[in-house]
Amino acid sequence: MKHTFKICTKNKLILRKMRGDITLDDYKNLLIEARNIEGYNSNYRVILDYRDSNLVSNIREYISYLKLFQKDDYHNNTKLFIASSPRVFVACNLFKDIVGYKNAFIFSSPLAALQHLGLQDTPALQFLETD
């Protein structure tokens, strides 16, 4: 799995791109790593771009992992997922449903996600559109 991120302090936004095969261990590491990113702010909105990625873990294992979390384990910031594969789309929906996260939304393109935040004309779009 390839992972890149960018923090846009002006827009209070964290951008994360994941590409390639993602295992359950990768997902766990991403959660831990988020808190260690320099400039990370738990109040910032987060866009998680999973286009061109594939969830290779068993969905049942992923569900079991999500059931370990309580709502209080996650910050109440807005999380926007960008998904192009059906398995990733299902995983994002499971996150919303199992954890009971109300501020999570799923989009099929970076532009749609940024428009949801009113930020379509920002450098964030360029970051998300380039590999």
pLDDT in tens, 15-42: 999 999 999 888 888 877 877 888 888 8
Distance CA 67, CA 85 (A): 23
When comparing pLDDT for 121 and 110, which is higher?
110
The answer to whether residue 74 scores a pLDDT higher than 70 is no
Quote the percentage of the chain above a pLDDT of 90. Answer: 47
What is residue 95's DSSP assignment? H
Distance CA 34, CA 93 (A): 20
Helices (H), ranges, the chain: 24-34, 59-67, 86-99, 110-117, 123-129
Using DSSP's 3-state secondary structure scheme, residue 49 falls into strand
CA angle 56, 62, 63 (to 5 degrees): 145
- pTM assigned to the model: 0.88
Using DSSP's 3-state secondary structure scheme, residue 22 falls into strand
Return the bridge partners of 19, or none. 2
Q: Of 3.90.1200.10, 3.40.1280.10, 3.30.750.24, 3.40.50.620, which CATH number belongs to 2-129?
A: 3.30.750.24
Mean pLDDT of the chain: 87
**Sequence-ordered list of residues with C-beta below 8 angstroms from that of 60, at least 6 positions apart, any chain:** none
Backbone angles phi, psi at 99, to 5 degrees: -80, -20
